Amino acid sequence: MTASRLSVNVNAIAMLRNRRDLPWPSVTGMAAIAMEAGAKGITVHPRPDERHIRKSDVFDLAELIEDRFPNKELCLEGYPTPEFLDLVEKARPDQVLFVPDAPEQTTSDHGWRFGADKALLKEAITAAREWAVTVSLFLDPDPALAPEAAAIGAERIEIYTGPYGACYDSPERAKLELDKVAATAEAARAAGLGVNAGHDLTVENIPALISRAPFIREMSIGHGFTADALIHGFAGSVQRFRKAMGEV
């Protein structure tokens, strides 16, 4: 069995838990199942209103990984506000993914375009790296953006694969979107960046992506994984996604 590149996003688990004033389903409990089954780590996106992941969840997950899964990774996603950076400093995840999300967004739906954001990102990247946290930037599938990410100090990018995932019913459009993702991955690798991918990835569309960019080091998957797990269970879906990635 090869090393995993699957990072399971457990935001949806937290959203379901928050429907009641009860401790189940357990965010840490489901995260533990995923990691025991072979996931490389856990991703969470704590938003300011805590409508799904709460700050307390972040610390609970960090403690879980430190105590029980020291070879696994925690990734925090968020817009680099002072409050989010304070959380990163205190929780010290393995990786932080900076995303250009407004607080009211339901999900990340676009990447950084840089421009006026460069100063903000440079400051956030410098801080995170001082805390020994690996920095990734969320980018649209556009090869021209990768060198800019490298120039301001990012170590990795995560390619927004939402447009590719949205073509589930159109093989022709899916091929065009996959071409953009693959070209962006190649540009990032040429710029010396690690390459991650995430958004609307499924067991059906992952194989084609991996065949075009086998050097992708991490896929962060939440919605598609959770939908699959409702049928196959958390542990079963880890195996299904890892099989789609050619790992088992």
Cis preceding linkage at 25, omega within 30: yes
- The catalytically annotated residue of 155, 158, 199, 218 is 199
77 is catalytic: yes
- The catalytically annotated residue of 73, 77, 155, 177 is 77
Q: Give the C-alpha separation, 10 to 89, whole Å.
A: 21
Match 């903000």 to its residue by tokens: 120
- Cβ within 8 Å of residue 11, ≥6 positions away: 44, 45, 52, 53, 222
Annotation-wise, does 212 bind a ligand?
A: no
DSSP 39-70: --EEEE---TT-SSS-HHHHHHHHHHHHHH-T
177 is catalytic: no
- The catalytically annotated residue of 45, 73, 148, 218 is 45
- Cβ within 8 Å of residue 154, ≥6 positions away: 121, 125, 135, 136, 137, 193
Annotation-wise, does 110 bind a ligand?
A: no
45 is catalytic: yes
Nearest CA to 31 out of 52, 14, 16, 55 is that of 14
Annotation-wise, does 107 bind a ligand?
A: yes
Annotation-wise, does 92 bind a ligand?
A: no
Annotation-wise, does 20 bind a ligand?
A: yes
Q: Which two tokens stand for residue 184?
A: 């962006």
Annotation-wise, does 47 bind a ligand?
A: yes
Q: Which residues are annotated as a binding site for 3-amino-2-oxopropyl phosphate?
A: 9, 20, 200, 222-223
Q: Which residues are annotated as a binding site?
A: 9, 20, 47, 52, 107, 200, 222-223
Catalytically annotated residues: 45, 77, 199
Q: Which residues are annotated as a binding site for 1-deoxy-D-xylulose 5-phosphate?
A: 47, 52, 107
